[in-house]
Structure 1
Amino acid sequence: MSWWGKLAGGAFGFMVGGPIGALLGAVLGHNLDKGLKGLSDEERLPPGDQERVQTAFFTTTFSVMGAIAKADGRVSRDEIALANSVMAEMDLNEEMRRTAINLFNQGKSADFPLDEVLNQFRRECHRRNTLIQMFIEIQLQAAYADGSLHKAEEQLLLHICKQLGIPEFAFRRLEKMIRAEAGFSGRGGGGRQAGAKPSGPTLEDAYAILNVSSDASNAEVKQAYRRLLSQHHPDKLVSKGLPEEMMKMAAQKTHEIRQAYERVKEARGI
């Protein structure tokens, strides 16, 4: 049974407590902490269990997305559209979609416990860096939904990265990648535009997506390509705790990486 199926069915053994559990419990109208206390230690699944991480990822993704959308002082139509497009890509059922919207709204509230949620999310991920990186990529797409990264959004994202143990140079690399992807993937600054058709990456975009310079050797380009494919492999990410519903997003990432590599190969004649 999926993480959501167990949650909806009242199987609290894998669930998280703390601020993430309180946040999810508030939007679902459940007392998750009470459910946890009713179980013996033998009945609980190990910390970091896949379903537990998937639940934390889903909850943190949409609530933090709301916080970032509010960072520049207002939530734009593009930012709401981006959140809706993520939900559409995940093909959420009505109950899950309603939960995601409520989490987004919780993140916009003045009393949203951002640091507490991030700290618990980092613990639940158990240093799974590729999973945390995917989380940041989604948040960057949200930040660029209105076409630009506002200063307040940038500062908040840097703070989020610091809380999650991601150095600034890694954030800048991901930011560059997301900007490049937006240039050719049919996204308008991070949000998908209805009817927009991908035109294929420019050579500059392709190098940015692969995170290599134009003077990198063919071997370095190939190595970067293989590393990125491995990091974004949908099955691998799900095994680490990405919700199954986000597999389509990971698959889109790998498609864009392949497009970028083909563009570089074409330019180099390899």
Structure 2
Amino acid sequence: MSFWRKIAGLAVRGVDEAECDVCPPGLPGEDPAFTTAVTALGAKLAKADGEAHADEYDTFHAIFQAEPGSEGAIRRLYQLARQTTRGFEGYARRLKKRYGGCPQILEDVLDGLFYIAAADGVVTSDELSYLERVCELFGLSPLTFRRLKATHLGAANDDPYVILGVAPDAPDEVVRAAWRAQLSESHPDRARARGLPAEFIEVAEAKAAAINAAYDQVQLERRSLSLGAA
């Protein structure tokens, strides 16, 4: 399924359980402003890691497939926009202004941009900075960015969300439930009750400590985000 048809399907379903009255009427894929902004963001991302190559359009087209009859215009716009990264923030702001009431659509655009960045097997720090700035301009949570980054690039083994087994943007109550469940399962008292040797109890104590540390880190990060947003 092409990106545009996926976006159209989201719009028809009424994402976020709302009618999205603040969004322009019709389907995003049929909105020239939407198509222009997405094309420009994809093209300028190709330039973010240095030299943009002509064959990178193939990667863009594989993700954001143009509707029949519009590919020529989109290719011309792409070739023009990829000359520089300057101006990408303006395109991101336009999408936020028009589709801010439909965050799932904006997240899908960011998801597609991650695919483009990772297509050559290496995502540079400049590309990550570009994507993080787009996420910010879209009004999406840093935790959403973290989840998408982990989805496309993998997460470190010591990432607290990996330890707890939840998505970075999982609700607080889901994080808390996961912490309690894992702590209960790994509690040293369980090992003692089963009569396991001392070394097994030490392993359980270390695991419980890691689970508690992960939960504390998540709480600290989320408090910092809340204070920053205030």
TM range (shorter): 0.5 to 0.7
Identity of aligned residues (%): 18
| Structure 2 Cα separation of the partners of residues 148 and 168 of structure 1 | 22
Which residue of structure 2 lines up, in the alignment, with residue 85 of structure 1?
62
| Structure 2 Cα separation of the partners of residues 162 and 111 of structure 1 | 17
- 1:238-253 aligned within 5 A: none
Which residue of structure 2 lines up, in the alignment, with residue 124 of structure 1?
98
Q: Does 1:157 align with 2:134?
A: no
SS of 2:61's equivalent in the other structure is helix
Between stretches 48-57 and 61-70, larger displacement belongs to 48-57
User: Which sections of structure 2, spanning at least 5 residues, go unmatched?
Assistant: 5-20, 156-160, 171-230
Note the C-alpha offset of 1:213.
4.4
Contact persistence 1:119–1:164 (CA under 8 A):
yes
Which residue of structure 1 lines up, in the alignment, with residue 119 of structure 2?
145
With structure 1 as the length reference, what TM-score do the two structures score? Answer: 0.45
| Structure 2 Cα separation of the partners of residues 49 and 129 of structure 1 | 14
Which residue of structure 2 lines up, in the alignment, with residue 113 of structure 1?
87
SS of 2:70's equivalent in the other structure is helix
Q: Which has the larger radius of gyration?
A: 2
Which residue of structure 2 lines up, in the alignment, with residue 70 of structure 1?
47
With structure 2 as the length reference, what TM-score do the two structures score? Answer: 0.53
| Structure 2 Cα separation of the partners of residues 131 and 91 of structure 1 | 17
| Structure 2 Cα separation of the partners of residues 178 and 78 of structure 1 | 22
| Structure 2 Cα separation of the partners of residues 68 and 119 of structure 1 | 15
> What is the root-mean-square deviation of aligned Cα atoms in Å?
3.3
Note the C-alpha offset of 1:167.
2.9
User: Which sections of structure 1, spanning at least 5 residues, go unmatched?
Assistant: 5-45, 181-203, 205-211, 225-270
Residue identity in the other structure for 1:66: A
Contact persistence 1:62–1:104 (CA under 8 A):
yes
Identify the structure with bigger relative contact order (alpha carbons < 8 Å, sequence gap 6+): 1
Contact persistence 1:76–1:146 (CA under 8 A):
no
Note the C-alpha offset of 1:160.
1.2
Between stretches 95-104 and 48-57, larger displacement belongs to 48-57
Deviations 1:174-211 (A, max 9, x none): 1111236xxxxxxxxxxxxxxxxxxxxxxx9xxxxxxx
Pairing partner for 2:141 from 143, 167, 170: 167
Residue identity in the other structure for 1:69: A
Distance 1:213 1:111, change over 3 A: closer
